[in-house]
Each structure stands twice: as C-alpha cells, then as structure tokens.
Amino acid sequence: MYYKVKLLGKEPVRFPDKSEFDAFNAQLTLLFEDAGDETYDLIEKYVSEAFEYENTEEFIQNLQTFARRANKNEIIYLLEKLTEGNITKFSDCPAQLDKEFIEKARVYWFLNNIFSDVRSDIVKNIDAIKYKFELIGNDEDALLTSDDTATYGEIYPFATRLFMDATNSNGKIGSYQLKGPLVDYFEQLKSTGLHQLSSSATYDFDEFVDDTAGIIWTAKVTQEPEEDENGQEKAVYEFIIHSSWLLGEVKTEFNTFPYSDYI
C-alpha cells in the first residue's frame, strides 16, 4: 500500500531551476499588479522600460539594476509594498508567515533572493533545500508524473505528506506519530489544535491544498515512472522546501502514502 522512498541527495539552493522561472515570474508579476502603480514607477525611476522584457532572466536583471541604483529606503519600501509588509517576517522564518500569505511564500523567496544577490548589505539571502528522492511503487497505485506538477497539482500535497513521514519515520507507518511544523500548521487551519497524528492514515489536506504549494516551493519529476529490470516501478522527484517546515533531518529511507485525501 505504501511507497518506498530513498533520499538520493540534498543541497541548499537560492533559486528554483531556470525551467521554473516563468512560473515564478507569473506570480511575481501578480505582486506588482496588486501593489499598484507606485511599484512600477519606483523601478522605472532607475530602469526605464524595466517591464518591457523578453524573458524572465532579463526582468531579473532589470530588478537587480534597480537594486544597485536605488537607496536602502527605496529597496526596503519596494519589498514591503510587494509583500504587503511581510518581507521581514518571511525572511526571519518562512513557516511563521501569516496563513493568508503562505500561498505566496515561494514567490517571496524568489523576490527576496533576486535582491539579496546584488544587495546583501540590505537583503538577507534565504536558502531553501532541494531534496532528490527515488520512489519505488507498490504495484497498486500509480506513481506521479509530470502531468501532476501543475500549480496546486497532486504532487504538492503528496510531497507535503512525504516530508511528514521523512522527518518522523521510525519503523513502519503506524509505529510512529506525525508531528512537527507541518502538522501544527494544518491542524491549526482545521481548528483541531492537535500536535500529533497517527501515521497509519492518509493526511487530509482538503480545502487547504493551495497552502501546500506555498510550502513545497517546487515539485519536479526528474525521471518519469518506469519499470526496472526487476519489474519494480520507480520514479525520481525533486522538491524544494525551507528547513523551517521540517521537524528535523530527513531520513535516508522511509515509507510514505501513495496519495493524500484532499479532493
């Protein structure tokens, strides 16, 4: 019934893979739209036609040119405006962001590090961790494919549950409890007040599935499911998450559920 999971590697990262830039940029554009003309005008005070770009890399360069030329107060003002006053709270601990902003957390990370790359004297860099996992199927449930990675797709709640098991696993599922920041966050949303749950059941994200895409900053299929020479179905996934969401070290081998109930 469960998937076997093996940790293949982990590394600190400051940005998503470039293949993810367009998705992040779409969310970044929404921040500017929500913040209004003031933010556009402030950027173009130093970089004319900054918003007329051909690709995301060019837009990042325009923002960094602004950051080099602007003064400290202008940079802080812009970041506060774009994050609705949350940039300091977010940079201190992403997991402590107010729940109504969690969905925007990954673009806050992207924005923060665009500026920290060139103005580390003003903006503190935020490292996330990219984890690479091999999953072995159970001959019963289908492994996730790249079709499941669209924003708010099935892979986000799946990955969120996986990290619950990854940091709590102590033997077989059912022999340990799920606890830590992820459990606390979702149980608070559900108004249960619980701080630990049995690992022997799927985790119901239900109406809070959008929040999982603010906790798992990227979810990528790097090797589509396929059978090996022994007839075992395997796939490889990469997930980016900030360490503040994790109870502790991720185990090198553990089990997780093939799905979580959230629809």
Average pLDDT in the 84-103 region?
Answer: 96
Q: For residue 62, is pLDDT > 60?
A: yes
Q: What percent of the chain has pLDDT over 90?
A: 92
Q: Domains of the chain: which residue ranges?
A: 3-13+132-256, 18-116
Q: For residue 37, is pLDDT > 80?
A: yes
Best CA proximity match to 212, nearest among 200, 203, 224: 203
C-alpha 41/C-alpha 63 separation (Å) is: 12
Angle between helices 105-116 and 72-82 (to 10 degrees): 170
Torsion of CA 103, 104, 110, 114, to 10 degrees: -170
Identify the DSSP state of 101.
G
pLDDT tens by residue, 232-260? 999 999 999 999 999 999 999 999 999 88
Kind and range of the H or E element at 235?
strand 233-241
C-alpha 92/C-alpha 183 separation (Å) is: 20
Q: How many CA atoms lie within 13 A of 190 on its CB side?
A: 18
What is the band of 172 on the pLDDT scale with cuts at 50, 70, 90? very high
